[in-house]
Structure 1
């Protein structure tokens, strides 16, 4: 398993300095990678109850968490490696109690940076951050990842970073919990990382065209996006499966054995 360059360019998407610089340049804007919540909603609502405690990894300045709250979700913890993004989003959603923000590296979510401590802990509580474990095992019902694993796969230490991140995701999920990965990576590139016995995940795969995709001739699709795609024993797409959109996104729904 090597560095996945299928959706990479000259930027190092695994570098915190890149993201800090980008969010400073965007100066308070908002951007949703890959898909907006309106497109993902059928999948999210099907697998993630609104009462779930949700972890949004690599939240950036996206609107998906805000949209989920508007849709009835009650508890979403958002983390990102960029302190610029976290500080910006904390200010933006200061009065939205359903949304919490912490600066954290997805490759080690037992480590707490301390910069966003007052966003999750009452300021009057006298606690030593070094004595706290963020996050303990089985802390979340669901983890949503929209492009974060892809970012790590663009780094020079991609296989190690991916293993560390997915190990942490598995650790944090409760039995029966859901890891929902939205990615450019097809099964050939992603299943070797996801389908490891240590994670105990049952995986269902979906495919979703880009929001701006237009079919040749303007016709409508005969396929339902909610129909799972079978995966071969080798972890590949069936030989007769044809992608309507060559640059479409894959949704891996990984359920932890309960």
Structure 2
């Protein structure tokens, strides 16, 4: 395994001090959602995560994602972030919203929570942050091990990332997890398909085949080079069919 530097810079995104300073500096800027807003992710969230689920939002920052999910009917979302500054801001903001809870916590050690505490874990950029920090392979393995421990059998880890299969599957497909994985590729917000494109407007709602080598198919056209990748990782449940299929088709 190797450090993924495809979207990293000189900042250490895995460092709490960096994030504390950033949230203090940008306190006047309001909320910020990394990569995608809930409106774009809603078809995937609603397909794989029932509204009654107990959800863990890792690396919540000051994003609106959890608020939007509550407005959409989700009943129990625990939000964690390594930044105490971000958590203090969000606790004050949502103190009157009982569906949202906030705790300062490092995703590499979530021992506060017992095993199998959550039906779903949502990660929008947190694994990416660790991949840009020092000791990236070790930190990523620690985080994913904790995610796997906290998921109930049959639970879903939804990873929204800039990392394509060549840089993410080596971490997600470890046999110790035995996750069943599906992949979706969605364009960045504001991307406009070329007029000459022959792709279906809803093609991003269909899962993308992953080759045995852990890559996108050779003939797959990545229209937007800055696309985001959504990995749906399902923890095995020996008491039921391990198929990831859902009776609810994706829809906008």
Q: What is the TM-score when the length of structure 1 is the normalising length?
A: 0.89
Residue of structure 2 equivalent to 1:177: 155
Residue of structure 2 equivalent to 1:128: none
> Cα–Cα, structure 1 residues 220 and 88, in superposed 2: closer, same or farther, change >3 Å?
farther
Q: Matched residues in 2 for 1:87 and 1:65: separation? A: 16
In structure 2, the residue corresponding to 1:152 is in which secondary structure?
Answer: helix
Superposition map of 1:35-54 within 5 A: 35-54=36-55
Structure 1 residue 199 corresponds to structure 2 residue 177: yes
Residue of structure 2 equivalent to 1:250: 229
Superposition map of 1:100-111 within 5 A: 100-110=101-111
In structure 2, the residue corresponding to 1:169 is in which secondary structure?
Answer: helix
Residue of structure 1 equivalent to 2:92: 91
Residue of structure 1 equivalent to 2:249: none
Residue of structure 2 equivalent to 1:14: 14
In structure 1, the residue corresponding to 2:203 is in which secondary structure?
Answer: coil
Q: Matched residues in 1 for 2:3 and 2:215: separation? A: 18
Structure 1 residue 224 corresponds to structure 2 residue 225: no
1:126-174 per-position Cα deviation (integer Å, ceiling 9, x unaligned): xxxxxxxx11000000000000000000012000000000000000000
1:61-90 per-position Cα deviation (integer Å, ceiling 9, x unaligned): 000000000000000000000000000000
In structure 1, the residue corresponding to 2:116 is in which secondary structure?
Answer: coil
In structure 2, the residue corresponding to 1:175 is in which secondary structure?
Answer: strand
**1:215 aligned to which of 193, 200, 223:** 193
In structure 1, the residue corresponding to 2:56 is in which secondary structure?
Answer: strand
Q: Matched residues in 1 for 2:198 and 2:92: separation? A: 42
Quote how far apart the aligned CAs of 1:216 are. Answer: 2.6
Q: Matched residues in 1 for 2:18 and 2:2: separation? A: 22
RMSD of aligned C-alpha atoms? 1.1
Residue of structure 1 equivalent to 2:24: 24
Structure 1 residue 147 corresponds to structure 2 residue 125: yes
Q: Matched residues in 1 for 2:198 and 2:81: separation? A: 38
1:44-75 per-position Cα deviation (integer Å, ceiling 9, x unaligned): 00000000000000000000000000000000
Consecutive unaligned residues in structure 1, runs of 5 or more:
111-133
Q: Matched residues in 1 for 2:81 and 2:128: separation? A: 14
